[in-house]
């Protein structure tokens, strides 16, 4: 079976590794185009691109799949199935209908909850107790296709984006391997609309912690957003909070985040452009 793989992020990379290490026939890897980075604007390849080159896989990096030329190139690989994981480009109808088995997507939620771009962040922001992975037959909607397979996992009360992301990417890779191996025998189930929610991209204002919000809301913000959350000014600068917890001691060598119903203890903080520090190290630096 001829597989075209489409993905861009670390979430995608885990699935590509598993498929490749199990010697499935990946005829081409599609990923986002390299982007300029740093002062020298050197083009930086995606992690998927780097892995594909390292392992001798053919790579395509079109800016769009909507042109006749891009479709002709994809068609030339004669895929039996296209596996998609956090790719970042819209697949038009002709692409969805090209392979014998269609396009199969690895989605980081237990659909129909959290369709869309930021399912892991939205699950944590909402304080969900469970989430999961769904392997889905893609259609022209946003994560509305028929369900092939899905598994649910519990979200720990102290779990953050990174830990949940890492668990889900491993689960998704194992599930897609099973699906691809058994693609001729799988059943597809229509996805229900009942319980559907949409995981919008994270907006810039959502990174700001608000003292008028509850402890639960601010706690969930910090653990959901891996870049951290802006909190307060010191010498006309925002500081970025990376980890908080509900207060467990009266230790005065710390910082507290005021909320409408109490305080959260700040554990990790960052001055913009500097490294992330434990709060005690941060306070010693302020006193120096």
Q: Is the pTM of this model over 0.85?
A: yes
What's the DSSP call for residue 207?
Answer: G
The predicted structure's pLDDT at residue 13: 98
The predicted structure's pLDDT at residue 168: 98
Which stretches does DSSP call E strand in the chain? 3-7, 26-30, 35-37, 42-44, 59-60, 81-85, 103-107, 115-116, 130-137, 147-154, 198-199, 229-233, 238-246, 255-259, 262-270, 276-278
How far apart CA 105 and CA 87 sit, in angstroms, is 10
pLDDT tens track for 208-229: 999 999 999 999 999 999 999 9
In Å, what is the CA distance from 85 to each residue of 15, 108, 131? Answer: 8, 9, 17
Which residues are CB-neighbours of 220 under 8 A, at least 6 positions away? 124, 125, 126, 127
The maximal CA–CA distance of the chain, rounded, in angstroms, is 67
b/e per residue, 205-225, with b = 16+ CB within 10 A?
ebbebeeeeebebbbbbbbbb
The predicted structure's pLDDT at residue 284: 82
> Tens place of pLDDT for every residue, the chain, 288 residues?
999 999 999 999 999 999 999 999 999 999 999 988 877 778 899 999 999 999 999 999 999 999 999 999 999 999 999 999 999 999 999 999 999 999 999 999 999 999 999 999 999 999 999 999 999 999 999 999 999 999 999 999 999 999 999 999 999 999 999 999 999 999 999 999 999 999 999 999 999 999 999 999 999 999 999 999 998 766 667 899 999 999 866 656 788 999 999 999 999 999 888 899 999 888 887 665
Which tokens is 184 given? 């001729």
The predicted structure's pLDDT at residue 235: 66
What's the DSSP call for residue 208?
Answer: B
Of 214, 218, 203, nearest to 266 by C-alpha is: 218
The predicted structure's pLDDT at residue 248: 66
The predicted structure's pLDDT at residue 41: 74
Q: Cis omega before residue 112 (within 30°)?
A: yes
The predicted structure's pLDDT at residue 78: 98
First to last CA, the chain: 64
């Amino acid at each position: 079976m001829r597989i075209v793989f489409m993905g861009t992020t670390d979430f995608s990379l885990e699935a590509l590794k598993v498929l490749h290490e199990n010697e499935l026939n990946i005829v081409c890897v599609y990923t986002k185009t390299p982007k300029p980075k740093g002062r020298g604007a050197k083009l930086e390849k995606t992690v998927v691109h780097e892995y594909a080159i390292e392992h001798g896989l053919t790579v395509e990096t079109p800016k769009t799949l909507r042109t006749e030329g891009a479709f002709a190139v994809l068609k030339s690989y004669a895929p039996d199935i296209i596996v998609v994981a956090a790719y970042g480009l819209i697949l038009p109808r002709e692409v969805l209908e090209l392979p014998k088995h269609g396009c199969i997507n690895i989605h980081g939620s237990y659909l129909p909850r959290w369709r869309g771009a930021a399912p892991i962040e939205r699950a944590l922001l909402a304080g969900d107790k469970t989430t999961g992975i769904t392997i889905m037959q893609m259609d022209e909607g946003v994560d509305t296709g028929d369900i092939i397979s899905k598994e649910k996992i519990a979200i720990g009360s102290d779990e953050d984006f990174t830990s949940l992301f890492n668990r889900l990417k491993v689960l998704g890779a194992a599930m897609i391997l099973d699906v691809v191996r058994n693609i001729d025998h799988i059943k597809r189930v229509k996805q229900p609309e009942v319980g559907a929610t949409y995981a919008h991209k994270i907006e810039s204002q959502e990174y700001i912690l608000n003292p008028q919000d509850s402890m639960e809301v601010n706690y969930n913000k910090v653990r959901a957003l891996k870049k951290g959350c802006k909190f307060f000014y010191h010498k006309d600068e925002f500081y970025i909070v990376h980890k908080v917890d509900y207060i467990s001691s009266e230790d005065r060598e710390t910082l507290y985040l005021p909320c409408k119903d109490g305080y959260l203890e700040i554990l990790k903080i960052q001055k913009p452009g500097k490294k992330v520090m434990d709060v005690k190290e941060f306070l010693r630096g302020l006193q120096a």
